[in-house]
C-alpha cells in the first residue's frame, strides 16, 4: 500500500519551487510599495532617499543613454578578472594547506594574519605598487575573493571522512585517482559554497576598488552621485550592484548544479 500522507505537501513544495523566483520578489516589492506610499502621504520628503518611482526613472534614463550599460560592463570586467585570479590562487593555496600538513604549517599562519587586515588598508599599498589603473583594482578584488576560497577548500579537504580515504587506499588508488574519485566529490559542495562567498566579497571589494580613481564603473556612479548631490543616482547604482551580484551568483549556482546532482541532502526534499 502506498503511503500518500506526504504526497500533498511534497507536491505543494514542488510547485512552490518552480515559482521560487517570484516568491523572492515579495519582500523587495513590498518594501518598495511601503516606501513609495510613505513619500506619497508625506511621511518622508524623498529628498535624501528617493521613492522607487524616482529611482526607476533614473535607472531608465541612465540605461537609455547607454551610461548604465557602459559602467556595468566595466564593473563586470573587473569583478570577472579579480574573481578568476582570486579563485586560482585560493584554490591552489587551499589545496596545498588542506592536503599537506607541512604546507599548512608553513603557509596558514601567515595567510591567517593577512586575512585580518581590513580591505581598505591595502588600497594605498596597491596604488603605490600598481598605480591607479586597472591592475590595482583587479588585485584588490582578487584579495577579497582569495580568502573565502582558500579557507573553504582547506577546511573541506581537512574534514573529509578518514574512513573514505582508507577505502581508497585499500583499493590501491593512485594519488590522482584518490583526488578524482574520493577527495573531489567530498569537497565539491563546500568548494562551491566557498566560490559563492568569494564572489560576494568580490562584489564588495569592487566598490572599494572603483573608489581608487576610477573614471568608469558603478562605483564611479556612486561617487559621482555623491559629489553632485544626486541621491537617485546613488540608489540606482546600489540597485544595479545588487542585481548584477544576484545574477552572477545565480549563474555560478546554475553552472555548478550539474556537478552536485548526486547530493541527496535536506534541500532536495524540502
Residue 14 counted as domain residue? no
Establish if 45 belongs to a structural domain: no
Question: Of 123, 252, 138, which is closest to residue 206 (Cα–Cα)?
Answer: 138
Q: Note whether residue 12 is domain-resident.
A: no
Q: Which domain holds residue 91?
A: 51-268
- What distance in Å separates the CA atoms of residue 56 and residue 62, rounded to the nearest whole number? 10
Reported confidence tier of residue 7, pLDDT bands at 50, 70, 90: very low
Residue 94 contacts residue 105 (beta carbons within 8 Å): no
pLDDT in tens, 55-114: 899 899 989 988 999 999 999 999 999 999 999 999 999 999 988 899 999 999 999 999
Query: Does residue 38 belong to any structural domain of this protein?
Result: no
Please write the tens of the pLDDT for every residue from 26-53.
888 888 888 888 888 877 777 778 888 8
pLDDT band at 18 (very low <50, low <70, confident <90, very high): low
CATH assignment of the domain containing 214 = 1.10.3720.10
Would residue 6 count as lying in a domain?
no
Residue 68 lies in a domain: yes
Q: What b-and-e string marks burial along 28-52, b requiring 16 or more CB atoms within 10 Å of the CB?
A: eeeebeebbeebeeeeeebeebbbb
Amino acid at each position: 500500500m502506498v503511503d500518500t500522507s506526504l504526497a500533498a505537501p511534497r507536491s505543494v513544495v514542488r510547485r512552490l519551487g518552480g515559482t521560487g523566483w517570484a516568491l523572492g520578489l515579495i519582500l523587495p516589492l513590498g518594501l518598495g510599495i511601503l516606501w513609495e506610499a510613505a513619500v506619497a502621504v508625506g511621511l518622508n520628503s524623498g529628498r535624501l532617499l528617493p521613492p522607487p518611482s524616482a529611482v526607476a526613472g533614473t535607472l531608465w534614463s541612465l540605461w537609455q543613454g547607454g551610461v548604465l550599460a557602459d559602467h556595468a560592463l566595466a564593473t563586470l570586467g573587473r569583478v570577472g578578472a579579480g574573481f578568476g585570479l582570486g579563485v586560482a590562487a585560493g584554490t591552489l593555496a587551499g589545496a596545498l594547506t588542506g592536503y599537506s600538513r607541512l604546507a599548512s604549517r608553513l603557509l596558514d599562519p601567515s595567510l591567517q594574519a593577512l586575512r585580518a587586515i581590513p580591505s581598505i588598508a591595502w588600497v594605498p599599498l596597491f596604488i603605490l605598487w600598481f598605480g591607479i589603473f586597472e591592475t590595482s583594482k583587479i588585485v584588490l578584488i582578487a584579495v577579497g575573493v582569495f580568502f573565502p576560497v582558500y579557507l573553504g577548500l582547506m577546511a573541506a579537504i581537512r574534514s573529509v571522512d578518514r574512513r573514505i580515504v582508507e577505502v581508497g587506499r585499500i583499493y590501491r588508488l593512485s594519488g590522482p585517482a584518490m583526488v578524482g574519485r574520493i577527495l573531489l566529490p567530498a569537497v565539491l559542495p563546500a568548494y562551491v559554497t566557498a566560490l559563492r562567498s568569494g564572489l560576494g566579497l568580490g562584489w564588495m571589494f569592487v566598490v572599494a576598488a572603483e573608489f581608487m580613481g576610477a573614471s568608469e564603473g558603478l562605483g564611479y556612479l556612486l561617487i559621482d552621485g555623491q559629489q553632485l548631490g544626486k541621491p537617485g543616482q546613488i540608489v540606482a547604482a546600489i540597485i544595479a550592484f545588487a542585481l548584477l551580484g544576484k545574477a552572477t551568483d545565480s549563474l555560478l549556482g546554475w553552472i555548478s548544479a550539474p556537478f552536485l546532482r548526486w547530493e541527496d541532502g535536506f534541500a532536495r526534499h524540502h
